[in-house]
Chain A
Amino acid sequence: MTLELTIAGARDALRAKTLSARELTDAHLAAIEQLDPQLNAFITVTADAARAQADAADAAIGRGEGGPLTGIPIAIKDLFCTKGVRTTAASRILEPFIPPYESTVTSQLLRDGAVFLGKTNLDEFAMGSSTMTSAFGPTINPWQRTGDDTRLVPGGSSGGSAAAVAAGMALGSTGTDTGGSIRQPASFCGIVGMKPTYGRCSRFGVVAFASSLDQPGPFARTVEDTAILLGSMAGHDPKDSTSMDRPVPDFAAACRRGVRGLRIGVPREYRADGMPAEIERLWQQGLDWLRDAGAEIVDVSLPHTKYGLATYYIVAPAEASSNLARYDGVRFGLRVPANDLTDLYEGTRAAGFGAEVRRRILIGTYVLSAGYYDAYYLKAQKVRALILKDFTDAFGRVDALLTPTAPSAAFGLGENMDDPLKMYLNDVFTVPANIAGVPGISVPAGLDADGLPLGLQVISRHFDEETVFAVGQVLEDAAGFTAKPAIRAKVLS
């Protein structure tokens, strides 16, 4: 029963003292102990610290104090620096790294009383769509195809965070979304994942992948729960120059706004060739639900969408190649001893970085090099401006866009690994929102023929997360998505 709760429900139970934070945390730690050996969603479990935080939460509640998340057990993507707790970015090069500082997002969650269960698995330095690139082995999706025990990926990069929530090992979790790293795993795992506007959540203390695209955001099992988590994560941070000084609205309240009178855009360019019919059908179903709830459906065009992925795979590796230059074996993390400086760099980076990270460093170094800068990076920046303009133009006519989140349901472990380009296509629907910096959510909306979850994506204007939540809530209500991965039955019984 305890593991069936939502964050909102758990909060009520804690306040009503029908449940203690310690019981809630212990139940989740037990679920981790039971399921994580199969799922590998966590890189580090901080059970003792979690129990201590839970006890502190109970004491606070006993005193009639406590913040919006007091006693709520959540998991943290292992890309957020956590003071005194190993932070690896799923890379060998940071395997021994224990930050002496706390990221702004996690410090705000702690400020509001959250209990941290541990650090979740991801693609190495968040580069990937499957967690297959993690130096700590892949996370396994809690879902399986009906009548088929093929192990599936949870999506990525925030696959560990998504799997932990889907399997009932945490009530919510944090992720980061650079090209879809929250929304795509949310879709694959049948939960809600939300990428806020770029600048809404501080990047301070988040291990950087591609700085102009990275944005922290929440996972949970309901739209309202992600809204509650985002309310705590968001806000201006003077330590991040790209964090915007804007008030944080009551996101949870916005979930109840409804969509009556809203204009919802259908970007025609998202009708990709070869998209599975069931995803097409689900998309249409989503539009029908919104129309039934009082929204007006409008066809719109985002003409530069087809360049989105190409632009992303120039900009993101360029920034990554620069951001990852600091991992040189000199000041922290892994060091492979050597006789001279060049050997130190080469030995450390060869031992510390996996294949996908190396591939992107090489691409990024190439597109920034003097002879190719204009042809690649500068061109990509120009296309980026056009993609942003597409969204601005569209939002002149509509309040939100509805699209599928991903072009497929979760795929099998090891599939697509030999074909990076095919792997990159997973992000085709999510990437444009990162390029434009606009907010988006993925809401589970149905199952495919194999019984795997599929998500719908809602995108809105810069800093209009409230509309994203309002539309997301209507979809959630209409879809009535109650399916659960079979593995949860084991712990729920």
Chain B
Amino acid sequence: MSYIIEGATGPWELVIGLEVHAQIVSNAKLFSGASAEYGAEPNSQVSFIDAGFPGMLPVINRACVAQAVRTGLGLQAEINLVSRFDRKNYFYADLPQGYQISQFAHPIVGKGVVEILLESGETRHIGVTRLHLEQDAGKSLHDQDPALSFIDLNRAGVALMEIVSEPDMRTPEEAGAYLRKLRTIMRYLGTCDGNMEEGSMRADVNVSVRKAGEEFRTRCEIKNVNSVRFVMHAIEAEAQRQVAVWESGQVVRQETRLYDPARGETRSMRSKEDAHDYRYFPDPDLLPLVIDQAWVDGLFAALPELPDAKKARFMSAYGLPSYDAGVLVMEQATADFYEAVAQGRDGKIAANWMLGDFFAGLNRMGRSIADSPVSAEGLGGLLDLLADATINGRIAKEVMEAMMETGESAGAIVEAKGLRQVTDTGAIDAAVDSVLAANPDKLAEYKAGKEKLFGFFVGQVMKAMAGKGNPALVNDAIRKKL
């Protein structure tokens, strides 16, 4: 499972750390009462505070603090009862105050951990260094006028959580799994919608390469990558570039780079030498943020069941293997759907059907759990017909397809199409007789010892019965006649 780049001078290992910016789900911005909703008309959600007007002062939004604490609890992290806001001073047109208010020195959340599941079924623990609160900047629009840039301050002041990982990841797959897991946890908590297309979750990726057993080498930061896939691609491209630089006898410079998905390469944005001097100092407009343990305990008690706990419960309650349980808990809607199907039924069979034909059907139709044509109740109905032997497995696949297309119940489809399986031994015997009579040569070969032909006879009988024969009874009947 190790991801190694084989260079001319031998194998190279990757070291990856991520800084994820997650927009907090809240009604208002971090320091003003303005709405934080996505997609509004430019500059329609801007208070005088967000626009940095003279005399305006920030006031912390308690709801955003609660969301950060809940996220920290979801990452099994230390919650700091005293944290502090600093000003990070730098000039940019879409930063209305001329500084960003951010928790630089004393974050609200300290060390935590995220458990990830790899394709191989292996789990790994990725360390979280910190989570801090900060305000977002506005957005410059360069495509509205040939000569002018316009500024949309709707995002300015929106609450972000910056979640910084330890440099614990070694493969692009781990980075992808970490991002997905982070998103899953935040979606369960309702603290971030994780929508990377709308920019409510963005990642800065730190990558370096080294020879086995070495100290860390110089890292580069790839800014603002906006999909899991691009994060994985950017890591690959950047690692390859760094290996090439080292192996050509040059030195990797610490710098900020951008990933260009069209060309599949990273490009230099600015080097450390001309990096900003951000000039931090404690924001004199805000007192230190002090929360009490009882409040944190209350938030903890009210947390929903999180994916890891749910996975463990699925494994023990429904007897699922780790990987299947892991996939089912990835999205809360999937997990809820599964539980509704599995309730009072065989959990393993329910999981097999969901992860198999049901997901395949949704994929084919480009639909998700949320707009599935088949409800959990509907899928359960199908499993019930299977369980009470009204239909067999093969027919069930056919019924499932029809359910996906029509949205009708399994029972209705089985009745309408006459798909009940045949358990009448007379009918089965008759079918067996006619198949044997029609294939004397195969019968002779079987009798001469070619026992593999048993399956051929079963197939022929099922075919003659239009697939509706009860498989166990068909097997019995053939064995008896032979």
Main secondary structure of the interface of A (DSSP, over half): loop
Q: Give bound CA distance, A267 to B63, whole Å.
A: 47
Across the two chains, which residue of chain B brings its CB closest to A332? B53
Which chain B residues lie closer than 8 Å to A369 at the CB level?
Answer: 277, 279
**Chain A proximity mask over B271-284: 1 for CB below 8 Å, otherwise 0:** 00000011111001
Task: Report chain A residues within 8 Å CB of B57.
Answer: 203-204, 239-241
Q: Does residue B449 face the partner (Cβ distance < 8 Å to A)?
A: no
**Within 8 Å CB of B295, what residues of A?**
none
Q: For residue B51, give the distance in angstroms from its CB to the closest CB of chain A.
A: 6
B91 within 8 A of A: yes
Question: A63 interface residue, CB < 8 Å from B?
Answer: no
Cβ-neighbour of B281 out of A205, A242, A318, A330 (below 8 A) = A318
Q: Chain A contacts of B91 at CB under 8 A?
A: 325, 328, 345
Listed stretches A66-74, A93-101, A109-117, A418-426; interface member: A93-101
Given contacts A328-B98, A368-B279, A370-B277, contact A103 B55 (CB under 8 A): yes
Whether A241 lies near B58 (C-beta < 8 A) is yes
| Distance to closest chain A CB from B370 (angstroms) | 40
Is A284 part of the binding interface, using a Cβ–Cβ cutoff of 8 Å?
Answer: no
Contact A242 B287 (CB under 8 A): yes
Give the distance to chain A from B17, nearest Cβ to Cβ, in Å. Answer: 22
Distance, CA A306 to CA B56, complexed state (A): 34
> Is A225 located at the chain interface by the 8 A CB criterion?
no
A161 within 8 A of B: no
Give every chain B residue within 8 A of A211 (Cβ-Cβ).
Answer: 284-285
Distance, CA A319 to CA B87, complexed state (A): 10
Inter-subunit contact B281/A322 (CB<8 Å):
yes
Q: Give the interface size bracket for B toward A.
A: 20 to 34
Of A94, A341, A345, which contacts B54 at CB under 8 A? A94
Of the candidates B97, B151, B284, B285, the one having the most CB atoms from chain A within 10 angstroms of its own CB is: B284
Identify the closest chain B residue to A240 (Cβ).
B57
Contact with A along B56-86 (1 / 0, CB 8 A): 1111100000000000000000000000000
**Which residues of chain A (315-345) have a CB below 8 Å from chain B?**
318-319, 321-322, 324-326, 328, 330-332, 341, 345
Which residue of A is nearest B49, CB measured?
A239
User: Which of A319, A330, A370 is the one whose CB lies under 8 Å from B151?
Assistant: A330
Q: When A and B form their complex, what is the total count of cross-chain residue pairs whose Cβ atoms lie within 8 Å?
A: 100
**Is A326 a contact partner of B286 (Cβ separation < 8 A)?**
no
Residues 317-344 of B contacting A (Cβ, < 8 Å) = none
Does A238 have its Cβ within 8 Å of any Cβ on chain B?
yes
B131 CB to closest chain A CB, in angstroms?
22
The docked-state distance in angstroms from the alpha carbon of A331 to that of B150 is 11
Mask, A341-384, CB within 8 Å of B = 1, is 10001000000000000000000010011100100010000000
Name which residue of chain B comes closest to A214, CB basis.
B284
- Selected from A203, A207, A239, A328, the residue in CB contact (under 8 A) with B93 is A328
Q: Give the residue name and chain of the B residue nearest to A211 (CB).
A: B284
Judge whether B52 and A326 touch: CB under 8 Å. Answer: yes
* A212 at interface by CB-CB < 8 Å: yes
Task: Let me know if A241 and B93 touch, CB within 8 A.
Answer: no
Q: How far is the CA of A242 from the CA of B286 in the complex (A)?
A: 6
In the bound complex, how far is the Cα of B99 from the Cα of A207, in angstroms? 16
Inter-chain CA distance A324–B99, complex, in Å, is 10
**B residues within 8 A CB of A241?**
57-60, 285-287
Q: Which of A203, A240, A328, A332 has the most CB of B within 10 A?
A: A328
Cβ–Cβ contact A212 & B54, under 8 A: no
Does residue B48 face the partner (Cβ distance < 8 Å to A)?
A: yes
**Cβ-based interface call for B218 (8 A):** no
CB distance from A381 to the nearest CB of B (A): 8
B89 touches A325 (CB 8 A): yes
- Give A178 to B194 CA distance when docked, in angstroms: 45
Chain B residues with Cβ under 8 A from A40's Cβ?
none
**In the complex, what residues of A have CB within 8 A of residue B284's CB?**
210-212, 242, 319
Q: Which residues of A contact B93 (CB under 8 A)?
A: 328, 330, 341
Inter-chain contact A89/B89, CB cutoff 8 Å: no
How many angstroms between the C-alpha atoms of A406 and B278 in the bound complex? 38
Shortest B279–chain A CB gap in Å is 4
The reply on B112 being an interface residue by CB < 8 A is no
Q: Report the separation of the CA atoms of residues A265 and B193 in the bound assembly, to the nearest whole angstrom.
A: 60
Q: A210 — which chain B residues lie within 8 A by C-beta?
A: 284
Bound complex: CA A155 to CA B149 (Å) = 44
Contact with B along A188-230 (1 / 0, CB 8 A): 0000000000000001111110111000000000000000000
B98 A89 Cβ-Cβ under 8 A: no
Say yes or no for B96: interface residue by CB 8 A criterion.
yes
Residue of A nearest to B54 (CB): A207
B88 and chain A: residue at smallest CB distance: A322
Looking across the interface, which residue of chain A has its beta carbon closest to that of B275? Answer: A370
Whether B59 contacts A239 by the Cβ 8 Å rule is yes
Are B55 and A208 interface neighbours, CB within 8 A? yes
Q: How far is the CA of A414 from the CA of B280 in the complex (A)?
A: 37
The residue that B48 contacts in the complex, of A101, A103, A206, A377, with Cβ under 8 A, is: A101
Q: Which chain A residue has the least Cβ–Cβ distance from B283?
A: A211
Highest count of chain A CB atoms <10 Å: which of B58, B93, B277, B281: B281
Q: In whole angstroms, how far apart are the Cα atoms of A87 and B278 in the complex?
A: 30
Sorted nearest first, the 3 A-B pairs with minimum C-beta distance are A325-B98, A212-B284, A211-B284
Interface residues of B (CB under 8 A from A): 48, 51-60, 87, 89, 91, 93, 96-99, 149, 151, 277-281, 284-287
11 contacts between A and B (CB under 8 A): A101-B55, A205-B56, A206-B55, A208-B55, A208-B285, A239-B57, A241-B287, A319-B281, A326-B52, A326-B54, A365-B279
